[in-house]
Amino acid sequence: MLAVFLNGKIRGRGIYRTIFFLPMVAAPAAVAMVWRWLYNSEFGLINHIFHIKINWISDPNIAVISIAVIGIWSIIGYNMILFISGLQEIPADYYEASSLDGANGIHQFFNITIPLLSPTIFFVTITRVIGGFMVFDLIFMVMDRDNPALPKTQSLVFLFYRYAFRDQNKGMGAAVVVVLLLIVIIITAIQMLAQKKGLQL
């Protein structure tokens, strides 16, 4: 929806695109520091604005959601560029013809935009799933070592670091890497088969 909005003829479109893409060029350390401040249970901006007292990154029940929000915020600009690129590949004639047939914006979105954008949607979904397994720097810099919610937020790459380097358990570290490799191979194979099937159709 964001890409569709920013691909339209709106005033200041370039400025909005730049704003949403800024998280992609921000240093991970700076991003972690800002979000640790926002999430701080004592003097964090979020708790201050809403007059609440929630342990956003130390409560095991919500820490995963808090980390996911940072991840989505950090990658939204990259995904936006991919979707805008896909939208610009859709011929304008399709929309003009559908308008003549009486289709409104909602019908065009579900019957033209979504089907023709499905390869991009599939690619972004696959790459984000793989990226989710490989998150490390965000967890490492936001979550303290003694954080009670850390076990609930560990990715496979973080588990590899924990076993291989922190606990000096090279065997478990190697096992985690093998599992991660198998997952990436399976997901990549699914993507390749889906693309091949799409080309045949």
Q: What is the pLDDT of residues 71-87, one digit of tens each?
A: 888 888 888 888 888 88
Average pLDDT over the chain reads 86
Q: Is 189's pLDDT higher than 70?
A: yes
- Compute the average pLDDT of residues 132-144: 89
164 and 199 housed in the same domain: yes
Q: Is 30's pLDDT higher than 80?
A: yes
Helices (H), 62-169: 63-88, 92-100, 105-108, 114-133, 137-142, 150-153, 156-161
Structure tokens at 170: 């090279």
Our count of domains for the chain comes to: 2
- Give the range of the structural domain holding residue 125, as residue numbers without chain letter: 2-134
pLDDT value of position 39: 93
- Compute the average pLDDT of residues 92-101: 86
193 and 121 housed in the same domain: no
pLDDT value of position 198: 60
In degrees, rounded to 5, the angle at the alpha carbon of residue 85 between the alpha carbons of residues 118 and 200 is 40
In a domain, 15, yes or no: yes
In a domain, 129, yes or no: yes
Burial 147-172 (b: 16+ CB within 10 A, else e): bebbeebbbbbbbbbbbbeeeeeeee
Percent of the chain having pLDDT more than 70? 97
Q: Which positions ≥6 away from 61 have C-beta within 8 Å?
A: none
DSSP 186: H
107 and 164 housed in the same domain: no
163 and 130 housed in the same domain: no
The pTM score is 0.80
99 and 44 housed in the same domain: yes
